[in-house]
Chains A and B, each alone.
Chain A
Amino acid sequence: MKILIVEDNPELALEVREYLCGNGYICKISKNCEEALEEINSNDYDIMLLDLGLPDGSGFDVLKSIRKTGAKVAVIIITAQGELEDRINGLQLGADDYLTKPFALTELGARLFAIIRRMHGFTVNQLDIHGFSLQLQDYKVSYDEVPINLTKKEFDIFQYLVLNKNRVITRLQLTEHIWGDILEVNSDSNFIDVHVRNLRKKLDKHSPIEWFETVRNVGYRINV
């Protein structure tokens, strides 16, 4: 999977690259519109992360010219403004998803997973972890063919942790993933604990889950 990161802040670009490379993606960085267009025209990429505020123009211009050439690359827009118009604009111009700065890398990971699933015609329908399997198309979890009844939020949390396995996921990251870009300050963190406690209770009935780790003061991690 090849990803082109179009971002003018070099440090941020490197952070993103480090994370994505660690997840097995092949990454290249472009600093501005010109470089990005050159790169996308000369090499094949599966996914492009496109920052909208670039030194030599708007990311929208890049998106427009890419879509004109009919390239099949999937585009995730990264916007600082987080403006509804921007999102609608971007999606209308042919972007596949958007992320608002500042975003969690794990959130980016989850979005990439969803896009790749879509690109491959939803052939990846199942995630397996220690005998549990998550059916992605209908939000169901089963152990040994025995269905486990999870709420939507519990399923989302479980899937997010599985997708980012072996990583500590903070409560804040989970909160943002579940409730989206809310403007309220850290009031939901405690509710994440409630949902995780319920989720663990339900999973624990079927099999011991010592791999579902609580990281003190930070959050949770699923180890493989």
Chain B
Amino acid sequence: MKIKHQLSIFNALSRLLLILVLWLMLPVLVEKVVYDHINKSLLEKKQKFIVHLDKEEINDFIVRKDTSETYSSFSTLHSEFLQLSRVSFNSKKNQTLFITEPRIIEEEKNDYRILQYYFKYENTNYLLEIGNSLSEINDLTFVIRVFFIIVLIMIVVITFIADTFYIEYLLKPFYKIIDTKIRHVNEPDAFDHTPIKTNSADFQELDTVLNQMMDRISELFKKEKQFIANVSHELLTPIALLKNKFENLLQNESLDDEAVDKIVGSLSTLDLLKKVIANLLLISKIENNQYEANEAIDFDAIITDLVTDLQDRIEDKELTFHKKIEHHFSFRGNKTLMHILFYNLIVNAIKYNKPLGTIEIKDGFLNGNYFLSVSDSGIGMDEKQQQKVFKRFARVSSDQEGMGLGLAIVESIAQFHHIAIEIKSQINVGTTFILLFPNERKPN
């Protein structure tokens, strides 16, 4: 997952969590604020009422209602009420209490926030109650909550969008670095040294360091190329010289058999040396990207060509050769290298085959990918051998001729062309090499 997506997801989740917490805490908070406010106004009212209160007034209040020991008054819409009553028992002297409870006023039941004040005046206990209706407040709380949630969601959406765009903007240089530099790390020819425009110091540093690394990589590639050229010249020239000397020496009639044998032995050692160097150089050159890979490859033609060339060896072992190439897969690569790849595979299929065995080359599609397979009916390999078969200088058995570079080269060439190789093998049944080709679109 890309870093910008991860950041966006984190953003969205953290904000949703914030909304949830606020949503749950809102009723408690609102209640607290509202009650504080009501308590304050109730207290003020109580003060106003109490300040001028004297005996006469109390009597005035209560007596007016004759028989009753209580005086009460309320506003028209029952939003507020005031009640003064004589009480016989008074335990909470001069105490102010706040309670919330339902009251019925003129047959209408409502929740009220009520201030209760117990006081004693001229040996008589009184209870003053001032109430404020909560129904309006409750409605208001609900409206506030809805409003609040809408505002929150809007803020979240707006900041989320802003964040996303900002992250995108911030990370743009980063993705550009990946696209133009890191992806081409194996193709020194395609290196792009133009500095990436960015205001973030981190990316500037990353870009600078990457440019330095690319410089070093291309330098190393260049050096390796130079080294390969030098090795070729400095090693192969003396080999050429020795070879010619030995060949001239062979023409000498006076040589005895022993001397001739020694010269021939030396010549074949030289030949081995030459081929080891040539093979190692080939691998180095492939890994150094010194080959072009833009020729159209006709697998059928290459294989037909090779089989004609190897016909005598196939006949010598009396092998049956089947070629079933039914698809025309258009592939661009290096013809010389593909030729070497198939040569090595087919030669192996001949070399490790049993007399009267078979070789089969097939093609087809596997999970949408084109494949070519080379199967033999030879001695096969066990799992251990299969694992090290692509290693340089690895041989299936020590008495086999060759130097164990053939399949290492096959692997190098396959990697160079983004071809995957699979091996299926069973001891004494045979071995199949499957080349899995990349789809038309080059994998990044």
Binding site for B on A (CB under 8 A): 9, 11-12, 15-16, 18-19, 53, 80-84, 101-106, 153, 167-168, 170, 172-173, 179, 181-188, 191, 194-195, 215-218
5 residue pairs A–B, Cβ–Cβ below 8 Å:
A102-B274, A172-B267, A183-B340, A216-B260, A217-B264
Which B residues contact A (CB, under 8 angstroms)?
Answer: 228-229, 232-233, 236-245, 247-248, 250-251, 257, 260-261, 264, 267-268, 270-272, 274-275, 278-279, 282, 285, 290, 309, 312-313, 316, 336, 340, 343-344, 347, 351, 401-403, 405-406, 409
- Which listed residue, B241, B244, B250, touches A170 by the CB 8 Å rule? B250
- In the complex, how many angstroms separate the beta carbon of B396 from the nearest chain A beta carbon? 14
Nearest CB in chain A to that of B245: its residue: A15
A179 contact set on B, CB distance < 8 A: 309
Instruction: Check B244–A105 contact: CB distance below 8 A.
Output: yes
Most buried by B among A18, A19, A168: A168
Q: How far is the CB of A11 from chain B (nearest CB, A)?
A: 5
Assess A104 versus B247: contact at CB under 8 Å? Given A9-B241, A80-B236, A187-B351: yes
The smallest C-beta distance from B343 to any residue of chain A, in angstroms, reads: 8
Q: How far is the CA of A60 from the CA of B240 in the complex (A)?
A: 21
Interface contact A102-B243, CB-CB below 8 Å = yes
Q: A12-B241, A104-B247 are in contact. Are A183 and B309 (CB under 8 A)?
A: no
A15 and B264 within 8 A (CB):
no
- Report Cα–Cα, A160/B430, bound state, in Å: 39
The reply to whether A84 and B237 contact each other, CB–CB distance below 8 Å, is no
Collect the chain B residues with CB atoms within 8 Å of residue A104's CB. 243-244, 247
Task: Tell me if A82 and B278 are in contact (CB < 8 A).
Answer: yes
Q: What distance in Å separates the Cβ of B244 from its nearest Cβ neighbour in chain A?
A: 4
Taking a contact as CB atoms under 8 Å apart, the answer to whether B240 and A12 are in contact is yes
Can you name the residue of chain B whose Cβ is closest to the Cβ of A52? Answer: B233
Q: Across the interface, do A81 and B248 meet the contact criterion of CB distance under 8 Å? A: no
Q: Are A185 and B237 in contact (CB under 8 A)?
A: no
Contact of A19 among B238, B244, B260, B268 (CB under 8 A): B244
In whole angstroms, what is the CA distance A52 to B115 when docked? Answer: 111
CB <8 Å contact, A191 and B244: no
User: Which one of B232, B244, B278 has the greatest number of beta carbons of chain A within 10 Å?
Assistant: B244
Q: Which chain B residues lie closer than 8 Å to A195 at the CB level?
A: 312
A82–B235 Cα distance when bound, in Å, is: 13
Cα-based distance from A103 to B264 in the complex (angstroms): 16
Knowing that A80-B236, A104-B243 touch, tell me 18 more A-B residue pairs with CB under 8 angstroms: A9-B238, A9-B241, A19-B244, A102-B239, A170-B250, A183-B282, A183-B340, A184-B343, A185-B272, A185-B403, A186-B271, A186-B401, A187-B347, A188-B313, A191-B312, A216-B257, A216-B260, A218-B264
| CB of A78, distance to nearest CB on chain B (Å) | 8
User: Quick one: which of A170, A173, A186 contacts B272, CB cutoff 8 A?
Assistant: A186
Residue of B nearest to A176 (CB): B271
Q: What's the Cα separation between A188 and B403 when bound, in Å? A: 14
Instruction: Establish whether residues B267 and A101, one from each chain, have CB atoms under 8 Å apart when the complex forms.
Output: no
State the Cβ distance, A103 to closest chain B Cβ, in Å. Answer: 6
Measured in the bound complex, the distance between the Cα atoms of B250 and A136 in whole Å is 28
Query: Which of chain B's residues have a CB closer than 8 A to the CB of A167?
Result: 251
Known interface pairs A102-B270, A105-B244. Does A183 touch B233 (Cβ–Cβ under 8 Å)?
no
For the complex, what is the distance from the CA of A194 to the CA of B316, rounded to whole Å?
9
Q: Are B240 and A102 in contact (CB under 8 A)?
A: yes
Q: Is the CB of B232 within 8 A of A82?
A: yes
| Residues of B close to A187: CB separation below 8 A | 347, 351, 401-402
Q: A19-B248, A81-B233 are in contact. Are A217 and B240 (CB under 8 A)?
A: no
CB closest residue in chain A, given B336: A84
Chain A residues in 8 Å Cβ range of B343? 182, 184
How far, in whole Å, are A15 and B250 apart by their CA atoms in the complex?
A: 14
A186 with B250: in contact, given A53-B233, A80-B236 (CB under 8 Å)?
no
CB contact under 8 A between A81 and B232, given known A105-B247, A183-B278, A184-B275: yes
